[in-house]
Amino acid sequence: MNRIFSGIQPTGNLHLGNYLGAVRNWVSLQHDYECIYCVVDLHAITQWQEPEELRKSTREVTAALIAAGIDPKKNIVFNQSQNPDHAQLAWIFNCVARLGWLNRMTQFKEKAGKHRENASVGLYAYPNLMAADILAYKGTHVPVGEDQKQHLELCRDIAQKFNSDYGVEFFPITEPLIFGTATRVMSLRDGKNKMSKSDPSEYSRINFTDGPDEIAKKIRKAKTDPDALPSEAKGLEGRPEAENLVGIYAALSDKSIEQVLAEVGGKQFSEFKQMLSELCVEVLGPIGNEMKRLVAEPQHIDAILRDGADRAREMTHPILEEVMDIVGFVHPLKG
């Protein structure tokens, strides 16, 4: 049986990269699979978060997922800290994963920067908790953007090493699901950098909550080159900003890059940007409005998270009990 798990950090606003690389795919997968979507607050605190902001962001991100079309009754939507089984399995994985594996993680290197010695131990062990998130449910498929690929390879290594260390076929070897035309949306200010919540420039990203004027302004100011748009994909080579904007347009309109270029080839960026703004407003506008409506009812959001967490725990509890058995812990069900 396929079981889908994915997670998203409640650190600030969700942006177009989160939507096109992940959330949109989560929405489409819910029709065919059992899906578990987690707001990963334990991961968020690997870098210091102002407590009230963290609480607010957790509710906002939950609202965004629901506004984007995820049905919290059909799926499980909850915040990670409400299911302690994640942290318990993560400890076991801290003892399975090797330092050498974690030393290779590019996200740690990027986030820790030059001050590696000052980074939290949690930031270093971050991928182990991520593996625990997935494997606590025996998740088989994980829909993510391109930037999470290395973490998912580590999850496979952990599952394999656990299985071989204990001589069991217990954890599945999870497959990443990276699909769509925008698996890596780039910054609007620099086509060589990923669109990210941590970029200091607000003009680098489009947020779920941006209104039509903000969206139009950000796209108008987006970096481009002076040439007109090409009519074939090979004309995008060496033009990262053009490639990014065309990729965003293709993803938002559910078309291929070739189809989009057949339509807009020869146009100047001023005209194309106008088309892109309108499309962005058309897709994100209703999501942003619904999100604002949901955020105004925090009790409703909290009830969804509570209910999701209860159902999540029902799934992980028997799996964790088996893990404790395999590892050799004495626990109530074992004499």
Q: Where on the chain is the footprint of ligand TYM (CB under 6 A)? A: 5-9, 17-18, 21-22, 40, 43, 130, 133-134, 142, 144-145, 147-148, 151, 183-185, 194-195
Taken in order 35, 183, 11, 109, the sign of the CA dihedral is: positive
Residue number, nearest CB to ligand TYM? 21
List 77's β-bridge partners, or say none.
37
Nearer to ligand TYM, 204 or 224 (CB): 204
CB-nearer residue toward ligand TYM: 194 or 218: 194
Nearest residue (CB) to ligand TYM, 109 versus 331: 109
Reduced to 3 states, what is the DSSP secondary structure of residue 97? coil
Tell me if 90 sits within 8 A of 158, measured CB to CB: no
36 phi/psi in degrees, rounded to 5 = -125, 120
Give the shortest CB-266-to-ligand TYM separation in angstroms.
28
Name the minimum Å distance from CB 330 to ligand TYM: 30
Considering beta carbons, is residue 121 or 331 the nearer one to ligand TYM? 121
Q: Identify the CA nearest to 23 among candidates 58, 57, 70.
A: 70
CB 332 to ligand TYM: min, Å: 29
Residue 197 and residue 16 in contact, taking contact as beta carbons nearer than 8 Å:
no
Instruction: Give the count of alpha carbons within 13 A of 1, CB side only.
Output: 7
Minimum gap (Å) between residue 335 Cβ and ligand TYM: 35
The catalytic residue positions are 111, 194, 197
The tokens for 23 are 């959330």
Contact assessment for residue 228 and residue 268, using Cβ atoms and an 8 Å cutoff: yes
- Locus of tokens 């725990």: 313
